[in-house]
A and B are shown apart, each in its own frame.
Chain A
Amino acid sequence: MPGLEPIRPQLKLEVLNPDELASIKAATLHVLEQVGIHVPSERALRVFAERGAQVDRESQIVRLPPGLVMDAMNLAPRSYQLCGRAAGTELALDGTASYFCTDGCGVYALDFETGQQRASCKDDVAKMARVSDYLSSIAFYWPMVSAQDHAWTAPLHELDASFNNTVKHVQTETVMGEKAARYAVRMAEVIAGDAADMRARPPLSSLICTIAPLGQDRQGIEAGMVFAEAGIPVGFMSMPNMGLTAPVATGGALAAASAEVVSAMVLMQLVAPGAPTFYSIVASVMDPHSANYINAIAEKYLCHVAGVQIAHDWGVPVLGGAFGAQNLEAATWQHGRDSVYNSLMVPLAGADIVVGLGLLRASTLLVPEQIIFDDEIYHTCRILARGIDTSDDGLALDVIAEVGPRGHYLAQRNTRQHLRSWWFPELSHPQRPMHESAPPDIRRRARAKLDKILREHQTQPLDDAATAELQAILEAAERELDA
């Protein structure tokens, strides 16, 4: 696996000042205490009631006193590690870097051979895991599409395909319900070695969506509780669609979304104090005619940055949203335009982890070579975030003096040395003057790179015993869940 290249931002972006952050936190606490959250899970209602929340069993609405919220959120760690199954895959969520993953859970794919659109399958998850294992932009892997060639165990098959094809950390967005979560924990134990290693170096984490407005998904939070108890990091994402499932104005949308996320994080801390958890808001604005998300609109970018700041204000790590273009085709003006704001703004705000590269059509369609385009945007952002080097080495006064007026810098060791560590946009600026000419069509260039990775990159395999154990777990799960 080539080394990871996270974004380490020197430039910083803030869209909320401390007073504005305070008013959003106050509004969030107000919503949690006065309006409440719908929590359709017996187990969760019991936990909340025992710990002093006001629980209406009939309506399943939970109202949380501010003291309870603050105490529980103070137990949530600000920093911890996500790990893969090989050295060099550790991701320290400590505010110094932004680690990106693939986009996930698409439902269609353009076939790798025929290019025809079809339903996504497990082999797509496997192939893209191998590509992600190679790319230095991808620090961890979201199974990119649904394994629709499997029934109720599809989410576990997605994990199987992921663990077998990348050594990087894997985050599931689809394992829901207590039973499936227990199987996923067992799979993670196999990867880590045992339960203790899994806690120390979790190879799996989970992302669960809240149900806007102001609700939780039963299967989601019940899986979340299992993960939190096992020490698997678990995050909650609110996806408010402003005007539809949240107030149309950004401030109110953020306060309501935050109430959803915080209430779920509080629940995790109540069942497993100190459990690694993370926060996420991926907001957008409703298309006023279809109620679909408008995928690329200014308010969305602002809210994504705000969500990062709000999470850090609570003292927890955050998953930010980037990429996820709306367009149907790779390599269009629209794709660049849709992707470029978030993928720069969110890491500049300091998001610890960020989703995700590689899907089109609002995260539903896998176009295999798309990830190559996104990889190039990613690295451009990575360099942008570094800012200007004004160190002695960066100012290079000695070199300027040595070349003097009217010379050139080609003969300088300094030039040679720096250029070697530079990143060049090979897709938009192919540079193989001496070799065969690059395909003139940028999409074909991207595809050629993808095919090369698929042809040449081999992931360090799991040992046979682990592969067999994963297989046995899947079979047990199929007997129980698919029945």
Chain B
Amino acid sequence: MSKEEIITRLAQSVIDGEPEDAVELAKQALDEGLDPLVCINQGLTAGINRVGELFASGEYFLPDLIIGGEAMKAALAVLEPALAGDQERQILGRVVLGTVRGDLHEIGKTLVGTMLTANGFLVTDIGIDKPAADFVSAAREANATLIGASALLTTTMPEQQKIVEELKEAGLRDQVRVMIGGAPITQGWADKIGADGYAEDAISAVALAKQLVGVPV
């Protein structure tokens, strides 16, 4: 297989959502001496961008999006360790993402995580039912620029406010932007608690995250 062909097929394995093929092709690429950064940028990233386009145009469904993201992650796990010391995959920002304390709704949060990852963010998903303090400490550890907090219950919304407050207390408010979401959340609530933004679905969450880290949308 030619080098171009390997890269095209890497992209295609993400588009088709075939994690096993993606891993095989990534290994093959390294065996053939291809530059892992080129494989990532021209293969995997090109593939996931195409997946995003197909999803946005309505042709692809969520499982296509999620399994495409998994194919990308699986191949990345092979390629990233092979990057030369001075090479680095371009990351738009580090995000700590979770669902707040008392709240077990996980699906929306996970979807947002998948879309952010597919679009070049490095996401640390801390899971569901997490108190504000966990968001803050995870943000500190991950050196995050963004916190994403999901709340689906009106009774758990106040925990989003606590995140903003505890970030201030920890002296991290200047470094970390806070975005919030979930069915009962509105822009009004975001303004009220001093969060930096609100998005109503996973696609607009990506646009919001880009805007908050200063990347053109």
Contacts and interface: CB of A to CB of B under 8 A. Distances in A.
Contacts of B108: 291
A364 to B, nearest CB: 7
A346 interface: no
A217 B63 CA distance: 26
A18 to B, nearest CB: 34
A245 B184 CA distance: 21
B62 A288 contact: yes
B172 interface: no
A288 B61 contact: yes
B183 A364 contact: yes
Contacts of A148: 154
B155 A245 contact: no
Contacts of B55: 289
Contacts of B58: 289
Interface in A19-73: none
B111 interface: yes
Interface in B44-75: 55, 58, 61-63
* Chain B interface mostly: loop
B184 A291 contact: no
B154 A107 contact: yes
A106 to B, nearest CB: 10
Nearest to A146: B154
Interface in B171-202: 183-184, 201
Interface string B8-20: 0000000000000
A146 B111 CA distance: 27
B183 A291 contact: no
Contact of A244 (B107, B155, B158): B107
B183 A289 contact: no
Secondary structure at the A interface, as helix, strand, loop or mixed, is: loop
A390 B108 CA distance: 54
Interface size class, chain B:
10 to 19
Contact of B184 (A107, A152, A286): A107
B107 A245 contact: yes
B104 interface: yes
Interface in A198-256: 211, 217, 219, 241, 243-245
A148 B156 CA distance: 11
Given A286-B62, A364-B183, A291 B154 contact: no
Given A107-B184, A245-B107, A289 B155 contact: no
B104 A211 contact: yes
Interface string B112-125: 00000000000000
Contact of A289 (B61, B104, B158, B184): B61
Nearest to A286: B62
Contacts of A241: 107
Contacts of A119: 154
A290 interface: yes
A267 to B, nearest CB: 18
A291 B155 contact: no
Interface in A81-130: 107, 119
Contacts of B158: 151
A283 interface: no
B104 A291 contact: no
Given A286-B62, A289-B61, A152 B155 contact: yes
Given A211-B104, A244-B107, A245-B107, A289 B154 contact: no
Given A288-B61, A289-B61, A217 B104 contact: yes
Interface string B89-128: 0000000000000101001100100000000000000000
Interface string A299-320: 0000000000000000000000
B62 A289 contact: yes
17 contacts: A107-B183, A119-B154, A146-B154, A151-B155, A151-B158, A152-B155, A154-B154, A244-B62, A244-B107, A286-B62, A288-B61, A289-B55, A289-B58, A290-B201, A291-B62, A291-B107, A364-B183
Given A217-B104, A289-B61, 19 more contacts: A107-B154, A107-B183, A119-B154, A146-B155, A148-B154, A151-B155, A152-B155, A154-B155, A211-B104, A241-B107, A243-B63, A244-B62, A244-B107, A286-B62, A289-B55, A290-B201, A291-B62, A291-B108, A291-B111
Interface of A: 107, 119, 146, 148, 151-152, 154, 211, 217, 219, 241, 243-245, 286, 288-291, 364
The 5 A-B pairs of least Cβ separation, nearest first, read A288-B61, A107-B184, A146-B154, A148-B154, A107-B154
Interface of B: 55, 58, 61-63, 102, 104, 107-108, 111, 154-155, 158, 183-184, 201
